[in-house]
């Protein structure tokens, strides 16, 4: 039978049962007769054997504990590596999140710019279309006014009246609203003076006498300025006032 014991340096080494027994015999002061025979009490033998088995069990337990400790140390190192990797992942996630937020903000700004540009383009297209329709509408109104002076053309008049009403309805539905400028004071932002007529001493200077071409609003914006005839006092009246 072989057992393991610690030496003076604390190392564990295998030791035969005979060696352990010799050590036990020397410690107890036993004497040995022949080289192959020794006398020992049964109680001492049982005590010696129990100590040897206990020691062997402790050595095995130590080995198990050491193995478990080594495994735990390795797991701890792995956990430290995982912790470092987790921190790196958090930093990387934060970087990608910030990048995503910047991309999202850029996209939102691009979307708003696109919407504004689309709105401006739609407004431009609508204004261009309405101005062309208003020009055709003016031609139809002038043609209808000429037909009103003719006789025996009632069918043609009614047809033109229907066309003019339909045009007027289209313009109204699209937001085009006519100006009513007669009697107002001339405003260069919405009126264009094409005729200046003197001799209107009883009216304030630059009063609109007549709309030559009707102006239109598109909501609150000037779609087309009105071409108007405005009043002007006579030169003598102006000299007297001055």
Residue boundaries of the structural domains of the chain: 2-85, 177-242
Higher pLDDT, 242 or 55: 55
Report the C-alpha gap between 137 and 171 in whole angstroms. Answer: 9
Both tokens of 127, joined, read: 């204004």
Q: What is the CATH number of domain 177-242?
A: 2.30.22.10
* Count of CA atoms in the C-beta half-sphere (13 A) of 114: 6
Both tokens of 93, joined, read: 């996630």
pLDDT at residue 5, as a whole number: 41
Chain segment 166-215, per-residue pLDDT in tens: 989 999 998 899 999 898 999 999 999 999 988 888 888 899 999 999 99
Chain segment 33-55, per-residue pLDDT in tens: 445 555 557 777 777 778 778 88
Q: What share of the chain is helix, strand, coil (3-state, %, to 5)?
A: 60, 20, 20
Both tokens of 201, joined, read: 């001493």
CB 186 within 8 A of CB 173: no
Report the C-alpha gap between 148 and 238 in whole angstroms. Answer: 41
Q: Over 80: is that where the pLDDT of 19 sits?
A: no
pLDDT at residue 237, as a whole number: 57
């Amino acid at each position: 039978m072989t057992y393991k014991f610690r030496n003076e340096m604390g190392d564990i080494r295998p030791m035969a049962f005979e060696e352990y027994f010799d050590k036990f015999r020397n410690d107890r002061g036993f004497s040995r007769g022949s080289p192959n025979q020794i006398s020992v009490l049964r109680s001492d033998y049982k005590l010696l054997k129990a100590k040897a088995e206990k020691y062997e069990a402790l050595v095995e337990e130590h080995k198990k504990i050491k193995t478990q400790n080594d495994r735990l140390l390795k797991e701890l190192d792995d956990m430290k590596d995982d912790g470092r990797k987790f921190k790196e992942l958090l930093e990387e996630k934060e970087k990608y999140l910030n990048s995503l937020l910047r991309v999202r903000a850029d996209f939102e700004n691009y979307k708003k710019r696109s919407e504004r540009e689309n709105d401006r383009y739609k407004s431009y297209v609508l204004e261009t279309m309405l101005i062309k329709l208003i020009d055709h509408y003016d031609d139809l109104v002038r043609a209808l006014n000429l037909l009103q002076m003719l006789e025996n053309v009632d069918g043609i008049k009614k047809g033109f009246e229907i066309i003019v009403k339909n045009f007027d309805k289209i313009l109204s539905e699209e937001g085009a609203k006519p100006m009513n400028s007669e009697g107002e004071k001339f405003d260069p932002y919405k009126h264009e003076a094409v005729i200046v007529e003197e001799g209107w001493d009883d009216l304030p200077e630059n009063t609109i006498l007549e709309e030559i071409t009707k102006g239109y609003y598109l909501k609150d914006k000037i779609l087309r300025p009105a071409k108007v005839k405005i009043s002007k006092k006579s030169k003598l009246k102006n000299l007297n006032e001055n």
